[in-house]
A = this chain, B = another copy of it.
């Protein structure tokens, strides 16, 4: 016997009155009638695949069955019908369709529990590391089909692996939810992303709703449906809608903000009454660092940095404690923050040779700071950060801060009015808010107002499969978002210029940031720690 079946509400036990000569309503119509009254709806559909199996099953179960349900706006769909004594697992699959990394998470539809999760590199990386390259690739002859096949085949392979790890079959998956940015969602559906990057930036569809898994080529239960998260536009995708759902921003009386930090800075501000969103290019510096030693998080990548204010000793933490081979965004923000707080770079981000001492090297006329000397690095070469790279980072953090200022001021709210500052994204969860404040990337709020959401896209996709109430929220969120088009006007440029300093030209905005004023080099020689 399955227990706790009704935790998610997707599995409903239905008892129907056996037919008689006096009441000879058909099997399907009898079941639908019962579901309509149970679910208080006037639209319930049963897949043809299930209709073929219904008469025998109903009679074997003596007209007591468990129905597996999903919902497309006002219409409920039966995606599975099982014998109440059948102990086969009934699973859903949440998917975060990341540009770089795809995350799959199994959900037990009986209990809402998560028995397994996996992730894999987006196979489309072979066609282009970033979404822009892929959109151009899609324009080539057969390109769109190839990109679509890469993602669908990749998902099918990983679904088999994930199911194997739980000793279930893909057939046991009855519903899916997929959250991704607008371009990834298009490539997943086989829709052309061509116009997404061309003015006026029009997606093919905003609200894909439910699509049959089979029609998309996803090999799970033949009656399974895929909920595809809606987007607000080309630059505000389903991953963000999932993020809002996951954060609960749309449910609270207090106004809060949600920021997804990546190549694009995506921001949502609001509460249960209204939501305002905007997105703008922040450059890759915040996500995968800068060109020289910057890289995506992974084993041996520096993700946390501290500098001793007395010794100028650089303390590093690498992922999996492997020898350092590069530095990711969170490490870079830490590094910049500490370089600034120690006075090794100035308010403009310029390297101060008098303070930096022996870690300063000059290559081809450009100043570099040695973060990890060759002897300690996994690469056998110095890991360095150049003046140019620091400049790029400062432009990125300035863009981020300017976007945050623009969106809050558009509704006349100050940062201090924000009850919570959600930082989303796998990368975002590693940012030290203290460091981000120190460089003026995030506003100077009490640290406890910052909440890291982790991968909020998979979080929201998971929630969509945990109850029909959550599912209903998705379209509500999508339709309540007002998208603020960023006008790069004079006001924006003024804000951007002011934010191009560490932490800002107006120090009163960052009262908590205290620079260690020093004019002489430290006592000991510098060394990587």
Q: Which residues of A are interface residues toward B (Cβ below 8 A)?
A: 19-22, 24-29, 43, 45, 48, 51-52, 54-56, 73-75, 189-192, 194-195, 199-207, 209, 211, 215-216, 231, 233-234, 485
What is the CA–CA distance of A267 and B200 in the complex, to the nearest angstrom? 61
What is the CA–CA distance of A231 and B485 in the complex, to the nearest angstrom? 54
Kindly list 11 other residue pairs between chains A and B, CB separation below 8 angstroms, not including A27-B205, A43-B73, A55-B192.
Answer: A20-B200, A24-B200, A24-B202, A26-B233, A27-B203, A28-B205, A43-B74, A51-B205, A52-B191, A55-B195, A56-B192
Q: Given known contacts A55-B194, A55-B195, is B26 in contact with A202 (CB within 8 Å)?
A: yes
What is the CA–CA distance of A392 and B485 in the complex, to the nearest angstrom? 83
What is the CA–CA distance of A55 and B234 in the complex, to the nearest angstrom? 14
| Copy count, this protein chain | 2
Is the CB–CB distance between A26 and B56 below 8 Å? no
Q: Given known contacts A28-B205, A202-B26, A207-B29, is B19 in contact with A191 (CB within 8 Å)?
A: no
What is the CA–CA distance of A194 and B202 in the complex, to the nearest angstrom? 52
- 11 A–B contacts from the bound complex (CB under 8 Å): A21-B485, A24-B200, A24-B201, A26-B205, A27-B195, A27-B205, A43-B74, A48-B190, A51-B205, A55-B192, A56-B192
For A211, what are the chain B residues with a Cβ–Cβ distance below 8 Å?
48
What is the CA–CA distance of A211 and B51 in the complex, to the nearest angstrom? 12
Is chain A's interface secondary structure helix, strand, loop, or mixed overall? loop
The one of B21, B45, B202, B215 in contact with A200, judged by C-beta atoms closer than 8 angstroms, is B21
Is the CB–CB distance between A19 and B200 below 8 Å? yes
Closest to A200 in B: B21
Is the CB–CB distance between A205 and B19 below 8 Å? no
Is the CB–CB distance between B21 and A199 below 8 Å? yes
Is the CB–CB distance between B52 and A202 below 8 Å? no
Q: Shortest CB–CB separation between residue A175 and chain B, in angstroms?
A: 18
Closest to A182 in B: B26
For A202, what are the chain B residues with a Cβ–Cβ distance below 8 Å?
19, 24-27, 55
Is the CB–CB distance between A25 and B200 below 8 Å? no
For A234, what are the chain B residues with a Cβ–Cβ distance below 8 Å?
24
Q: Shortest CB–CB separation between residue A14 and chain B, in angstroms?
A: 16
What is the CA–CA distance of A209 and B207 in the complex, to the nearest angstrom? 24
Is the CB–CB distance between B200 and A29 below 8 Å? no
What is the CA–CA distance of A234 and B45 in the complex, to the nearest angstrom? 21
For A27, what are the chain B residues with a Cβ–Cβ distance below 8 Å?
195, 202-205
What is the CA–CA distance of A203 and B254 in the complex, to the nearest angstrom? 55
What is the CA–CA distance of A244 and B201 in the complex, to the nearest angstrom? 52
Q: Shortest CB–CB separation between residue A256 and chain B, in angstroms?
A: 26
What is the CA–CA distance of A233 and B20 in the complex, to the nearest angstrom? 12
Q: Given known contacts A189-B48, A200-B20, is B28 in contact with A206 (CB within 8 Å)?
A: yes
Q: Shortest CB–CB separation between residue A67 and chain B, in angstroms?
A: 15
Q: Shortest CB–CB separation between residue A233 and chain B, in angstroms?
A: 5
- 7 nearest CB pairs, A to B: A28-B205, A26-B203, A26-B206, A29-B206, A21-B200, A19-B202, A26-B205
Q: Given known contacts A21-B200, A21-B485, A200-B19, is B233 in contact with A29 (CB within 8 Å)?
A: no
Closest to A211 in B: B48
What is the CA–CA distance of A204 and B56 in the complex, to the nearest angstrom? 10
What is the CA–CA distance of A73 and B22 in the complex, to the nearest angstrom? 27
Is the CB–CB distance between B204 and A28 below 8 Å? yes
The one of B24, B216, B233 in contact with A24, judged by C-beta atoms closer than 8 angstroms, is B233
What is the CA–CA distance of A501 and B177 in the complex, to the nearest angstrom? 70
Is the CB–CB distance between B206 and A25 below 8 Å? yes
What is the CA–CA distance of A243 and B56 in the complex, to the nearest angstrom? 31
Q: Shortest CB–CB separation between residue A447 and chain B, in angstroms?
A: 37
Q: Shortest CB–CB separation between residue A21 and chain B, in angstroms?
A: 5
Q: Shortest CB–CB separation between residue A294 and chain B, in angstroms?
A: 32
Is the CB–CB distance between A204 and B51 below 8 Å? yes
Interface centre among A27, A43, A73, A205 (most CB of B within 10 A): A205
What is the CA–CA distance of A48 and B73 in the complex, to the nearest angstrom? 17
The one of B19, B22, B204, B209 in contact with A54, judged by C-beta atoms closer than 8 angstroms, is B204
The one of B21, B52, B206, B207 in contact with A192, judged by C-beta atoms closer than 8 angstroms, is B52
What is the CA–CA distance of A209 and B77 in the complex, to the nearest angstrom? 14
For A29, what are the chain B residues with a Cβ–Cβ distance below 8 Å?
205-207
Closest to A23 in B: B200
For A28, what are the chain B residues with a Cβ–Cβ distance below 8 Å?
204-206
Q: Shortest CB–CB separation between residue A104 and chain B, in angstroms?
A: 22
